Amino acid sequence: MEYLLGLDVGTSGVKALLISPEGKIISSKTESYPLATPHSGWAEQSPYDWWEATLKVIRKTISDIPIDSKQIKGISLSGQMHSSVFLNNKMKVIRPAILWSDTRTSEQCSKIYTKAGGLNQLIHYVSNPALEGFTAPKILWLKENEPEN
């Protein structure tokens, strides 16, 4: 028998589905991890928690039935949009991930709008507004508040 594995690395945990080629759910598991809110409006998680939970949920999902990993013919992945993981030059995580729901970057969004000449100009340049959960304001926040990183 062949299977497909679906993984969703979400805000509250990793969800896994083992599915037959016909679309029948063979096994479904979830592995949670913590959300840190060290200050009002902040939302952070450890990418290492994501990884450990992913490994654990895969093991739990396939432990329900006796299968060989070679029977998994495809893997589908989804994850948190706009959550930022910052790495050093050795590709190692340097701080907890700043999540999509984090609102600490209001000041940086304003600075981006000012530098671009306003909302319309920014959208003209990059086809998007500067929103608190987006990556550019987070990079600016990191530069201004954690220059050692």
Say if residues 85 and 97 touch (Cβ distance below 8 Å). Answer: yes
Q: What is residue 38's predicted lDDT score, i.e. its pLDDT?
A: 96
- The pTM of the full predicted model, rounded to 2 decimals, is 0.88
Among residues of the chain, what percentage have pLDDT more than 70? Answer: 100
**Which sequence spans correspond to the domains of the chain?**
1-85, 103-149
- pLDDT tens-digit series, residues 43-66: 999 999 999 999 999 999 999 788
**Terminal-residue alpha carbon distance, the chain:** 48
Q: What is residue 24's predicted lDDT score, i.e. its pLDDT?
A: 95
Domain 1-85 belongs to what topology?
Answer: Nucleotidyltransferase; domain 5 (3.30.420)
Say if residues 87 and 59 touch (Cβ distance below 8 Å). Answer: no
- pLDDT tens-digit series, residues 107-141: 999 999 999 999 999 999 999 999 999 999 999 99
| 80: DSSP letter | -
